[in-house]
Amino acid sequence: MLVLSGIVIIVLGFMVRLNPLLVVTIAALATGIAAGLDPVAVVSAFGKAFNDNRYVSVVWIVLPVIGLLERYGLQQRARTLIADLRGATVGRLLIVYLIARQIAAALGLTSIAGHAQTVRPLVAPMAEAAAEAQMQTGRTADEETREEVKAMAAATDNVGLFFGEDIFIAIASILLIKSTFETYGITLAPIELSVWAIPTAIAALLIHGARLMLLDRRLGAR
Amino acid sequence: MIGLPALYTFAGLVFAAFALGSLRDRSNARRLGNAAFWGLLSLSFLAGDRLGDLGNGVLVLCLVGLAGAGALGSGTPKTTSPEERTALSARLGNRLFLPALIIPVTALVGTLAFKAISVGGAPLFDPRQVTLLSLGIGVVLALAVSMLWLRPPPLAPIEEGRRLIDSVGWAAVLPQMLASLGAVFALAGVGDVVGEIAGAIIPEGNRFAAVAVFALGMAGFTMVMGNAFAAFPVMAAAIGVPVLIVGMGGDAAVIGAVGMLAGFCGTLMTPMAANFNIVPAALLELKNRNGVIRAQIATALPLLAVNLVIIYIFAFR
């Protein structure tokens, strides 16, 4: 039971808003020590895992390119493009992005979009421009509206990715399900698993799409 | 063969450039903290395999110490003003999108084609890493095209990149840190204990209760671990296999696939899934660190209910 101390530390740490890096490290140390490892062994295990997981942080190499293009007005251009498009709304824009992201992910193309690659430089500024266009004439988007629209752009990227990728047979999560079940002598082909990702993918599109349409209605009333 | 080491070297050089840029930025009162933080991360990418496990552990503790002590500030690299950007975007037009599109297009082409390229019978690119490698190549191509076309000051990519990485700050390594925590949890057997507890609370023979504990357990445990991959083997061992599949004769394909997706609903609702929820809040400069999670809850909860119902109906046809 003591090994659960790490989970308690994480929940409490996030609640009192300590620095999350600090919370995670303390949780790792407490968990390891509760499991009977000596502190040096825990630090070593943590260090080895950090080194093995470096690929997670590789994505930041896109920032020099994105920043450079922003310097020359990429976000402004994304806004203009949407502002010139008649009938563009936040909801319609994000529904199109949601569908495109789901289809691309279902074909295994998960890293062609993302928060650093597409949401910050393109989708979020486009959504902001659409929000301004659809609000009642003469109104500009206030701080709260901007926050809501940008957060929804990021949320849409996540929903599209999560509920598209499992339709692809060679994605990590499908392979994990297959290999986990194999240890119990249950053999499944990846395709048997991935077809069962389709109903949830459709439900995700309907639920999130409906929320985006409701967002359009709320913005139109502002 | 070109593999992760080449990509890590490139990333290490990028972080080293951020560190040096921070060091000479006198507008940032905490420039030493920033330089040390990005410098250590650069060291990890360039020499992590030679530092040893304990050395890497100490490096991580230093990163955490810097972040925990509030040693990171935000630099103000020279960039263009909003007015200049509006003028530039009008002059350059939609061609500005082209360099930005090089990255996803290269990722797409690379993922599909790199496996086929071989030199003297051996693959040129590590076939297990084509996606990450094509991302790296896309970045290099896009950078080269932008530099030749726009002719910015030579240090501009570093300074602009530093502007963005400083807005993310220490959260940039949180996803990697959480993945490492998962490894320590696995070592300590946290999953087995959680599984025992979850397995103990199902009333005997009640199919709906068993499905509900499985689906909600996937979501809940994913929220704690920040990752459905950590939750799945645990919930499969505790409930999925012994109770639902063996005990009640459920369809393993539905239980596995939809169970994992119930976990993904949990991912949408937790700050522990930092790369999906906390990092974008920082990248988009949201005031509320949990703004993205708040936007996702009303999608995640109904979808979790849908997953529960799908398992209940279709796993036991």
Above 70 in pLDDT, residue B19?
yes
Q: Are residues A120 and A191 in the same domain?
A: yes
Q: Does residue A57 belong to any structural domain of this protein?
A: no
Q: Is A118–B104 a contact, with Cβ atoms under 8 angstroms apart?
A: yes
Q: Are residues A47 and A115 in the same domain?
A: no
Q: Does residue A99 belong to any structural domain of this protein?
A: yes
Task: Tell me the pLDDT of chain B averaged across its residues.
Answer: 91
What is the spatial distance between Cα B96 and Cα A76, in angstroms, rounded to a whole number?
A: 10
What is the tens place of the pLDDT at every residue in A33-45? 999 989 999 999 9
Higher pLDDT, residue B203 or A77: A77
Q: Is A66 on the interface with B (CB under 8 A)?
A: yes
Above 80 in pLDDT, residue A20?
yes
Q: Are residues A19 and A128 in the same domain?
A: no
Q: Is B308 on the interface with A (CB under 8 A)?
A: no
Q: Which residues lie across from B118 on neighbouring strands?
A: B123
Q: Does residue B182 belong to any structural domain of this protein?
A: no
Mean pLDDT computed over B201-227: 89
**pLDDT band at residue A138 under the 50/70/90 scheme:** low
Domain stop point among A52, A73, A88:
A52
Q: Is B48 on the interface with A (CB under 8 A)?
A: yes
CB-based burial of residue A135 (10 Å sphere; 0-12 exposed, 13-18 middle, 19+ buried)? middle
Nearest-CA neighbor of A22 among B173, B190, B108?
Answer: B173
- pTM to 2 decimal places: 0.86
Q: Are residues A20 and A70 in the same domain?
A: no
Mean pLDDT computed over B161-190: 87
Of A51-60, A182-191, B106-115, B230-239, minimum mean pLDDT range: B106-115
For residue B53, the model assigns a pLDDT of 95
Q: Are residues A134 and A37 in the same domain?
A: no
Above 70 in pLDDT, residue B161?
yes
For residue B100, the model assigns a pLDDT of 86
Of A46-60, A205-219, B259-273, minimum mean pLDDT range: A46-60
**Chain B nearest CA to A136, separation (Å):** 23
Q: Is B232 on the interface with A (CB under 8 A)?
A: yes
Of A69-78, B87-96, B193-202, minimum mean pLDDT range: B193-202
Q: Is B54 on the interface with A (CB under 8 A)?
A: yes
Q: Are residues A130 and A25 in the same domain?
A: no
For residue A139, the model assigns a pLDDT of 66
Q: Is B4–A180 a contact, with Cβ atoms under 8 angstroms apart?
A: no
Q: Are residues A69 and A19 in the same domain?
A: no
**Chain A nearest CA to B109, separation (Å):** 10
Q: Does residue B143 belong to any structural domain of this protein?
A: yes
Q: Does residue A96 belong to any structural domain of this protein?
A: yes
Q: Are residues B235 and B272 in the same domain?
A: yes
Q: Does residue B184 belong to any structural domain of this protein?
A: no
Q: Are residues B85 and B168 in the same domain?
A: yes
Per the structure, how many domains does chain B have? Answer: 2
Q: Are residues A155 and A97 in the same domain?
A: yes
Q: Are residues B127 and B272 in the same domain?
A: no
Chain A residues close to B292, C-beta within 8 Å:
151, 154-155, 158
Q: Are residues A170 and A152 in the same domain?
A: yes
Domain stop point among B174, B206, B237:
B174
For residue B203, the model assigns a pLDDT of 77
Q: Are residues B10 and B140 in the same domain?
A: yes
Q: Are residues B24 and B144 in the same domain?
A: yes
Q: Does residue A127 belong to any structural domain of this protein?
A: yes
Q: Does residue B207 belong to any structural domain of this protein?
A: yes
Q: Which range marks the domain in which residue A154 is found?
A: 62-220
Q: Are residues B15 and B149 in the same domain?
A: yes
Q: Does residue A102 belong to any structural domain of this protein?
A: yes
Mean pLDDT computed over B106-120: 82
Q: Is A144 on the interface with B (CB under 8 A)?
A: no
Q: Does residue B181 belong to any structural domain of this protein?
A: no
Q: Are residues A47 and A68 in the same domain?
A: no
Per the structure, how many domains does chain A have? Answer: 2
Domain stop point among B174, B209, B227:
B174
Q: Are residues B46 and B167 in the same domain?
A: yes
Q: Is A170 on the interface with B (CB under 8 A)?
A: no
For residue B108, the model assigns a pLDDT of 79
Q: Are residues B65 and B114 in the same domain?
A: yes
For residue A137, the model assigns a pLDDT of 63
Concatenated DSSP letters of chain A: -GGGHHHHHHHHHHHTT--HHHHHHHHHHHHHHHTT--HHHHHHHHHHHHHHTGGGGGGGGGHHHHHHHHHTTHHHHHHHHHHTSTT--HHHHHHHHHHHHHHHHHTT-GGGS-IIIIIIIIIHHHHHHHHHHHSSTT----HHHHHHHHHHHHHHHHHHHHHHHTTSTTSHHHHHHHHHHHTTT----HHHHHHTTHHHHHHHHHHHHHHHHHHHHHHHT-
Chain A residues close to B104, C-beta within 8 Å:
112-113, 117-118
Q: Are residues B98 and B238 in the same domain?
A: no
Q: Are residues A201 and A128 in the same domain?
A: yes
Q: Which range marks the domain in which residue B304 is found?
A: 189-314
Mean pLDDT computed over A149-177: 91
Q: Are residues A71 and A119 in the same domain?
A: yes
Q: Are residues B256 and B115 in the same domain?
A: no
